[in-house]
Amino acid sequence: MTKTVPARDSALDTAAHRQTRSARIVAALVHRWPTWLAIAFAAVLSSDLDDGREFAFLVFILALGYLATAVIDRPGAIWSVLGVLMAAVVLMRVLSGDPWPILIVTALALIMVGLVRGQLRRPGAFALQSPAMFVFGAIALGALHVHPDLGRYLVAAGLLGHAAWDAAHWRADGIVTRPFAEWCGVLDLLLGLAVLFLA
């Protein structure tokens, strides 16, 4: 003899199932907060896009942030490091108008300190930070000193290349935290595409 489930119990089970599914969706969305934050940043930054070369400093700053975090060897510090670097760029623009010389000197000093102290001589991602800084730095600086059309493509390549760099760091779960690597990767990808197709 089969036991019938009262309609009220069935309705309660269905409501509980819906609630559980909704909670899982909300939890998944909250878990992806770096992605949503990156989308918001990308929307704001690309809303006033000129020729795309204005993001050259971002290619440099993001690589510099990774380098600095590797040298201090504290993945969680990346958010503070990036905040300090961005504030320094704004301050330098207000005071002198050209932040590039100080940014370049900072990158070279960090490389020297990291090599002397040994952080940048460690195997894996640590040893790759100096070459990455040179590559992304050369792309960023080169974009400002060539024809604007070529410069735009260089910036887009730098941003998309850094998105791949972020993905590698997200997977390795080192140098920087995974939430930062996710945020940075999505931001780089969206801005790189914006420079390619909207500039």
Q: At 123, give phi and psi (nearest 5°).
A: -70, 165
In angstroms, the CA 143 to CA 198 distance is 17
Q: For residue 147, give the 3-state DSSP assignment.
A: coil
Residue 191: both structure tokens together: 């801005």
Residue 173 zone, left/alpha/beta (φ > 0; ψ -120 to 50; rest): left
Half-sphere exposure of 120 (CA within 13 A, CB side): 23
User: pLDDT 10s per residue in the chain (199 long)?
Assistant: 555 545 566 665 666 666 787 777 677 667 789 999 999 999 999 988 888 899 999 999 999 999 999 999 999 999 999 999 999 888 888 887 788 999 999 999 999 999 999 999 999 899 999 999 999 999 999 999 999 999 999 999 999 999 999 999 999 988 999 999 999 999 999 999 999 998 6
